[in-house]
Amino acid sequence: MAFGIVNSRVYSNPYQKLLYRSIGSRYRIASGSIATSIGQLNRLGKSIHHIHWEEALFAKCESASQAGKLRRDYIARLKHYVDLGGKVVWTVHNIKPHEWRFTGTFLSLRKDLAALSSLILVHNQHAMSMLQEQIGLTDLSKMRVLAHPTYFDVYEPAEKTIELAGQPPAHPRTLLYFGLVRAYKGIPEMLRKLPHDFMVKHDLALRICGNPIRAESFLDDLLAQCEARPEIECRLASVPAPEVADLLRSCAGLVLPYHKVLTSGVAVLSLTLGVPTVAPRTPTMEELFPESSHHLLFNPRSSNDLRRAVLALANMSPEMRMRISQDYLERAQACHPRIISRRLGAIYDKLLGIKPNKKPAAGGNAKPAAQIAAPPAAASQATDAHQGERLQPQSQPKPQPQPKPKPQSQPKPQPQP
């Protein structure tokens, strides 16, 4: 029976399921509290408590004093678990909470987690630097870069993704915003930077497709702006999973206006599908996207630079679209969920003192990395940050021709990132 890794938070998006894709015969996600992990430790003599989205601890707090007491009680329980011999893994997802409250208490919590964790996982090299600056972390031996897994075989079979990447879009002058509609995503600011006159002059349209996570004050203003601008279509609803990939491919590309993030699931999705993306020029996005597409990155403080990037996307030649798409796919292959999952499994093995098993696990049918529907060779190479390593980059073997894979059945619909 697979060993349960107690996750502090388990959400419905595909991220955590992807992490366990290749190790399901050995490890499974178990949702639970520190008490759950202590119970497991007492029964089995070993346990891993994996912390995600630590800011959710304060979700129901109404005052700083309440948040402070909650932090102290939580850390006391976590320290007791560690003193008993439990192992803590902490994955850092955000620079700060999207709803930024109780600043001092939150940063104190992060310092405590850094001290008690056996390992700290981040999705990119920039996150390592951020954490050093934010909480004064000096012990880098605990840190590992484990890239956000890409979305192959989530919204459609990987073979279809490879086949359709880089094809001309059905709506080549339509920009797309896709994902959760929240205040921190910067959608109203994007509309101000892409005014009606600019959009009409260049024959551009914009589709906003996503689900508001909760009633927020900016939504009324957003809807009013969209209703006053005929070139904008606003669909405030979740997109059915079987429609996601085709939606993204149907437009000129994605526009991501938010810049205060460490990781973007939507950016990783666009990378997976080979859909060219306009995104802020931040260390995170420069690290994620291949160099051939860096002209689509814009200065988030400059309206003119956003417009320049948008026009570069809309006026892109078919040859450039194909090149960028193939470079995206090559980068995405290095972060294939099977690869990232196996690396997480190796981390768990080491913490639990389990020697690596060179033979495939019983019932495991994951393809070797070289057999994962590889795209044609592209210009850029994946950095070591996107291969989940903390060592220097190593050269990657060229993919060998493989027999055409058999068609896969359509996966069950999954929630959008």
Q: Which residues of 99-124 are buried (b: 16+ CB within 10 A; e: fewer)?
A: eebbeebbebbbebbbebbbbbbbbb
- pLDDT tens digits, residue range 59-75? 899 999 999 999 999 99
What would the mean pLDDT of 110-120 be, rounded to a whole number? 97
Q: Please enumerate in sequence order all residues whose Cβ is within 8 A of that of 412, keeping only pairs 6 or more positions apart, or say none.
A: none
The chain-wide mean pLDDT, for the chain, equals: 87
Q: Which two tokens stand for residue 182?
A: 């929240």
Whether 392 has a pLDDT exceeding 90, the answer reads no
Which helix (H) or strand (E) segment holds residue 144: the answer is: strand 143-145
Question: By three-state DSSP, how is residue 50 classified?
Answer: strand
Least Cα distance to 9 among 62, 66, 49 occurs for: 49
What would the mean pLDDT of 26-37 be, rounded to a whole number? 97
Percentage of the residues of the chain whose pLDDT score is greater than 90: 75
Fold classified for 3-145: Rossmann fold (3.40.50)
Q: How far apart are CA 156 and CA 139, in angstroms?
A: 41
| pLDDT in the model for residue 128 | 93
| Count of Cβ atoms closer than 10 Å to residue 2 Cβ | 14
34-43, 97-106, 110-119, 312-321: least confident range: 97-106
3-145 and 158-331 in the same fold: yes
Q: How far apart are CA 408 and CA 376, in angstroms?
A: 21
Percentage of the residues of the chain whose pLDDT score is greater than 70: 84
Q: How far apart are CA 319 and CA 261, in angstroms?
A: 31
| pLDDT in the model for residue 358 | 55
| pLDDT in the model for residue 182 | 87
pLDDT band at residue 214 under the 50/70/90 scheme: low
Q: How far apart are CA 254 and CA 417, in angstroms?
A: 14
191-195, 296-300, 365-369: least confident range: 365-369
| Count of Cβ atoms closer than 10 Å to residue 289 Cβ | 23
Q: How far apart are CA 97 and CA 58, in angstroms?
A: 10
DSSP 223-288: HHHHHT-TTEEEE-SPPPHHHHHHHHHHEEEEE----S-S--HHHHHHHHHT--EEEE--HHHHHH
pLDDT band at residue 386 under the 50/70/90 scheme: very low
Fold classified for 158-331: Rossmann fold (3.40.50)
For the chain, domain boundaries: 3-145, 158-331
| pLDDT in the model for residue 396 | 40
| pLDDT in the model for residue 363 | 37
What would the mean pLDDT of 240-246 be, rounded to a whole number? 97
- pLDDT tens digits, residue range 337-350? 999 999 999 999 99
| Count of Cβ atoms closer than 10 Å to residue 271 Cβ | 26
Q: How far apart are CA 117 and CA 318, in angstroms?
A: 48
- pLDDT tens digits, residue range 81-106? 999 999 999 999 999 887 678 999 99
pLDDT band at residue 387 under the 50/70/90 scheme: very low
Whether 408 has a pLDDT exceeding 60, the answer reads no
pLDDT band at residue 1 under the 50/70/90 scheme: confident
| pLDDT in the model for residue 138 | 86
- pLDDT tens digits, residue range 349-368? 999 999 876 544 433 343 43
Q: How far apart are CA 344 and CA 335, in angstroms?
A: 12
Q: Between 125-135 and 103-116, two packed helices, what is the crossing angle to 10 degrees?
A: 110
| pLDDT in the model for residue 417 | 61
| pLDDT in the model for residue 265 | 94
Whether 397 has a pLDDT exceeding 50, the answer reads no
